[in-house]
A and B are shown apart, each in its own frame.
Chain A
Amino acid sequence: MEFDVILGNAGRAGLGPQAAIFALLVIGLNLHFGYTGLLNFGQVAFMMVAAYGTAITVATWGGSLWLGIPFGLGLCVVLALVLGLPTLRLRKEYFAITTLAAAEILRLLVRSSPATDITGGPFGLQAIAGSFYALNPIVEGRYGIGTFSYTANQLWVMIVGWVLVALAATLVFLLIRSPWGRVIRAIREDEDAAASLGKNVVGYKLQALAIGGVIGGLAGVVNALQQSGVGSESFGSQVTFMAYVVLIMGGVATTAGPIVAAVLFWFLREGVDSFLRQLSEEAWLPDLLADFLYDAGGAVSIALAGIALILLLKSRPGGLFGKRHEGAADA
Chain B
Amino acid sequence: MPERAPERNAGGGEVLPEGAKHDPILVADGLRRSFSGIRAVDVDHLEIARGAVTAIIGPNGAGKTTLFNLLSGFERPDAGIWSLDGKRLNGLAAHRISRLGMVRTFQLTRVLARLTVLENMAVAAPGQSGERLERALLRRLWRDQEQKVKIRARTLLQRFGLDHMADQPADTLSGGQRKLLEMARALMTQPGLIMFDEPTAGVNPALTQSLLGHVRKLQAEGLTIVFIEHDMDVVMGISDWVVVMAQGRILAEGPPADIVAHAGVIEAYLGRAHGLEKGGAAESEASRD
B139 CB-CB contact with A under 8 Å: yes
Q: Given contacts A182-B115, A200-B93, is CB(A192)–CB(B137) below 8 Å?
A: no
- 3 smallest CB-CB distances across A and B, nearest first, come from A179-B130, A180-B136, A178-B136
Q: Given contacts A198-B95, A325-B171, is CB(A178)–CB(B123) below 8 Å?
A: no
**Across the interface, do B142 and A179 meet the contact criterion of CB distance under 8 Å?**
yes
In the assembled complex, the Cα of A193 lies from the Cα of B94 at a distance in Å of 10
**Across the interface, do B130 and A178 meet the contact criterion of CB distance under 8 Å?**
yes
In the assembled complex, the Cα of A60 lies from the Cα of B189 at a distance in Å of 54
Contact with A along B195-234 (1 / 0, CB 8 A): 0000000000000000000000000000000000000000
Per the CB 8 Å criterion, the residue count for chain A at the interface is: 28
Out of A174, A183, A188, A201, which one reaches B137, CB within 8 Å? A174
**Across the interface, do B137 and A178 meet the contact criterion of CB distance under 8 Å?**
yes
CB distance from B148 to the nearest CB of A (A): 12
Contact with B along A155-187 (1 / 0, CB 8 A): 000000000000000010011011111110110
A199 CB-CB contact with B under 8 Å: yes
A117 CB-CB contact with B under 8 Å: no
**Which residues of chain B have a CB within 8 Å of any CB of chain A?**
72, 74, 93-96, 98-99, 103-106, 110-115, 119-120, 122-124, 126, 128, 130-133, 136-137, 139, 142, 146, 169, 171, 185-186, 188-189
**Across the interface, do A196 and B103 meet the contact criterion of CB distance under 8 Å?**
yes
**Across the interface, do B131 and A179 meet the contact criterion of CB distance under 8 Å?**
yes
Q: Given contacts A179-B130, A182-B115, A325-B114, is CB(A198)–CB(B99) below 8 Å?
A: yes
A197 CB-CB contact with B under 8 Å: yes
Can you give 25 contacting A-B residue pairs, CB < 8 Å?
A: A175-B137, A178-B130, A179-B123, A179-B142, A180-B132, A181-B136, A182-B119, A182-B122, A182-B131, A186-B119, A189-B112, A189-B114, A190-B110, A190-B113, A192-B74, A193-B110, A195-B98, A196-B98, A197-B123, A197-B186, A197-B189, A198-B95, A198-B126, A207-B133, A326-B114
CB distance from A184 to the nearest CB of B (A): 10
CB distance from A101 to the nearest CB of B (A): 27
The chain B residue sitting closest to A210, CB to CB, is: B133
**Across the interface, do A197 and B110 meet the contact criterion of CB distance under 8 Å?**
no
The chain A residue sitting closest to B99, CB to CB, is: A198
CB distance from A215 to the nearest CB of B (A): 14
**Across the interface, do A183 and B131 meet the contact criterion of CB distance under 8 Å?**
yes
**Across the interface, do B110 and A192 meet the contact criterion of CB distance under 8 Å?**
yes
Q: Given contacts A196-B94, A196-B98, is CB(A180)–CB(B123) below 8 Å?
A: no
Chain A residues with CB below 8 A from B132, complex form: 180
Chain B residues with CB below 8 A from A179, complex form: 122-123, 128, 130-131, 136, 142, 146
The chain B residue sitting closest to A326, CB to CB, is: B114
The chain B residue sitting closest to A197, CB to CB, is: B124
Out of B103, B133, B139, B169, which one reaches A197, CB within 8 Å? B103
CB distance from A179 to the nearest CB of B (A): 3
